[in-house]
Structure 1
Amino acid sequence: MKKQIKILILEDNRTDADLMLRQLRKSEINFVDKIVETRKMFEEALDTFSPDIILSDYSLPTFDAVSAFHLLKSKNLSIPFIIISGTIGEENVVQLLKDGVTDFASKNNLLTLPQKVLRGLRDAEETLEKIEILEKLKIQTAALLIANDKLVLQNDEKEKKAVELLNVNKELLAFNFVSSHDLQEPLRKIQIFISKIRQDETTTMSESGKNNMERIQVAATRMRQLIEDLLAFSRVSTTERKYEMNDLRVIIEDVKLELVDSIKQKDAVIDIIGLVPGNMVTFQFRQLLYNLISNALKFSKDDLQPRITIESSIIKHADLKLRGVTPQMKDKNYWNLSFKDNGIGFEAEYNDLIFVMFQRLHHSQEYSGTGIGLAIVKKIIDNHNGIITASGVLNQGATFEIYIPIKENLKLIRKVVKHKLVSA
């Protein structure tokens, strides 16, 4: 952050402006300020003063915050914009935040203003850094394309490695964009509203309300961590992950606990049948099951109780072809996970397309999401050298079949299964 920041204040009441400045000086923020009250003065200040952040009254005699913010957007200026007012209604606050306004502060409570200013400046810096990272990734991807052209004439193994590296970087570029904007932006809005409610409503809130707010805060923190973990996962080779034998029971119960509200709301039933242990990266399979179960709940039918069936078994190499699946490894048996639901399903033509990054079969207004959930599932299975297939029947449900080659002795797996059954 700059040692000295420039704060532009759009306010026609000098007393209110002085109160803002006094509160900011108490926080020891090093800044210079400029106060304007008309559209002409505001436009001139944007050019000559070049502010780092703007604090604006909601309504002025000849100008207002909404017009000022739209003017800022028309000039393609990404300057943090905080509205300060004592009269604006909550619906207006919600709409302005949706339109991209950074934050809101009440004139009746300016104690949090320094914190909001610092947070707005910090978010602006992070956004700029992410844009720079994306530009570097584009350059790297272009460089990899050139490098790939040079490698075409080399042997098949080197060509394969070059293509894999190119695909990884393309996915990383797309994933960085989503994680830095489409995922981070809604989360930031949630945290702003949590902060506003906890500051303004805590004295009138019931204990139950406070507990629910705490749960929301925990969920938001969990979401931010999840985004960071997924971003890290996209950058790290799977060979650095720890594989372990797991029968998925603990993972499924953990996912059910996280989705407990959705499960109760939908009155969903999750049937677990004969889970056979498999060798897997536990945290990746937790994400896989979370994505599949949350998708099944999201795309359930309104007039039918959602039912999800999860089953695993061992498939012999010879039997794999009978299922229409081509084994990737010779003479290997496969661990099979079958996941079925009775939701809205999809047409057969989308069986392969459904795993494509950002591919959505439904409009965002019908079903929320970013279109990366099943792409992440596919990537996790690829990391395990496995195969995943999807088959849907419109208005009847969807089935996902996962096949992972077994490296361990089949007798060892059966021994583990037997031990777990006895322990249970």
Structure 2
Amino acid sequence: MKSAFKKELKILMLEDLQDDVGLIEHALSRDGVPFTSLQVDSRDEFVQALQGFLPDVILSDHSLPQFNSIEALKICKEYGYNVPFILVTGTVSEEFAVSCLKQGADDYVLKSNLARLSSAIANSMRQRQVEIRRRQAEAALRKQNEELTKINKELDSFVYSVSHNLRAPLMSVLGLVQLAKMDDDSHQRLFHEYFNRIEYSIHKLDETLKEILDYSRNARSEVCIERVNLRGLIEETFDRMRYLSGSEGIEKEIVVEEEVPLFSDAHRLIVIFNNLVSNSIKYRAVTKERQFIRIHVRVTRTDAFIHFEDNGIGISPELITKIFDMFFRATSKSEGAGLGLYIVKEAIDKLGGSIQVRSDFGEGTVFEMRLPNKQDIVPLITTQQQAS
């Protein structure tokens, strides 16, 4: 038993019978437990011993003339003493023993079986150490989570602030370039090509900033489930893209079949459709007489199935497996940072869905998406909000 105790234990005994103290000390000495002990038998002495003796273990008889183990347990909790508390008493009922354990006692040993006392002390000390380490780990984890939350909030603020502060002067420069282009029309268009290149670079940087914002929002924000007006959302997407060069020449076909309404995250759906539609417009096959984008959506009680198709330039076979990679750009025509389809995949993953792509180079591209219909979550969310 010596190996179980690496230092001399300070044992506080709450006991009013000196003979029983002797029996306890004899049992511990016989098992080779190194210890010093202090006996008390009243509330005041017990409190003074906790503060002055600073015990490693408390051994308590249940019932003393003016004090008992239940009161002693309450005092330990009030003063915040986290040391093993073992009941050492005469015959007790099983119900009483369970009650003591529920109130904070680590173990109980009958005075008729003191041979078990040393192992009970060793086990209780080990369990207390495990509990202390667990609490320390939880506290450290909470602190890390708080720090991480703080860092994430600061990063979000930084991304939004920097993006806004960069986009505002970009738009001012773009306005000045467009004014200069109009003035240059009356001067034999000497600098028109320069202005076109500046304008292209501005649009390219602006596209990158928008991708960074979309990426940040998708990575940081929680999924927000609500009823989605799919047709309206898709039509709004095309309306936003009407200023993109070439959008006016593309046929739009939208079919939405809803057995039931779709409940999902509208913001992430907007990001998904924005990126897919803008890519189809940018990478349209300009030599084709007829250019189209077809979107077919079927909503069931469990899922939304989205078929997105265009007849643009397509994707070559060797690149098809890389299109969802971060910063991957399949063509020099790309104006962004190569985050568009990566964000689409990440947004779909956040929603618990899936996406597949097939493409014939020079013919067009098809994206097949499945998104879970979260309609069953909405009543739960509403109930939780009402309860709070």
TM-score, normalised to structure 1, is: 0.41
Q: Which has the greater radius of gyration?
A: 2
* Larger RCO: 1 or 2 (CA < 8 Å, sep 6+): 2
